A and B are shown apart, each in its own frame.
Chain A
Amino acid sequence: NAGVMQNPRHLVRRRGQEARLRCSPMKGHSHVYWYRQLPEEGLKFMVYLQKENIIDESGMPKERFSAEFPKEGPSILRIQQVVRGDSAAYFCASSHGQGGNYGYTFGSGTRLTVV
């Protein structure tokens, strides 16, 4: 079991470009969560998705950010027209079910640097 796979590991974008971050959940997991981590801070919830559905996007900025989890393929977090403040580590986690004692399994994160 390969665990949660995120790619790329590092991503550099110029201001105004688009960033696409990919996350493949653990085999058998149908719930995906995206978190953002700024330097020296904890993880901040962004969005929670199940296959083809966004369940909770309360932590995601209303503009420039979008997320999807298609029926086939990885979950994608897209940031359009990136700005320097978007520089952070973005983590994806997956779980087998919602709530309860289902632990999250995290990927290794994508470090986005906007220059």
Chain B
Amino acid sequence: AQTVTQSQPEMSVQEAETVTLSCTYDTSESDYYLFWYKQPPSRQMILVIRQEAYKQQNATENRFSVNFQKAAKSFSLKISDSQLGDAAMYFCAYRINNDMRFGAGTRLTVKP
């Protein structure tokens, strides 16, 4: 069974600083996709960044980047220059075919 673990229920960061959210997953597959989603208080699920497992290069989207360690089955999200609008729940997700599994989430607070 595929499981996704986010070991940090809550994280806090000072505005303009950098924060890293951790995610590990368990799978026996070699070809899959990983995602980070953001869920602000509006409840909308917003795709932040995605990573193909067959790519060694870490994905980057503006201030958001990942550290993908395939052997360790680790997929952490780094948010640089944190902004107040980054405050939200962040969910790590693993997908193979039509099966997408989510972690329990990390609540990120940004302090002004």
Contact = CB atoms under 8 A, between A and B. Distances in A.
A44 B2 CA distance: 13
Contacts of B16: none
Interface stretch (A18-26, A67-75, A79-87, A102-110): A102-110
Contacts of B35: 103
B104 A42 contact: yes
Contact of B98 (A41, A42, A89, A98): A98
Contacts of B45: 43, 91, 93, 106, 109
Interface in B3-26: 4, 6
Contacts of A91: 45
B50 A43 contact: no
Interface in B43-84: 43-47, 50, 52
Interface of A: 31, 33, 35, 40-45, 48, 55-56, 89, 91, 93, 98-101, 103-106, 108-109, 111
Contact of A45 (B6, B46, B101, B104): B101
B97 A43 contact: no
Contact of B44 (A42, A55, A100, A108): A108
Contact of A101 (B4, B52, B91, B102): B52
Given A106-B44, A109-B43, A56 B98 contact: yes
Contacts of B47: 103-105
B6 to A, nearest CB: 8
A99 B43 contact: no
B91 to A, nearest CB: 5
Contacts of B101: 45
A43 B102 contact: yes
Given A41-B104, A98-B97, 13 more contacts: A33-B100, A42-B103, A43-B45, A45-B99, A45-B100, A48-B98, A89-B43, A91-B45, A101-B33, A101-B52, A103-B47, A104-B100, A108-B43
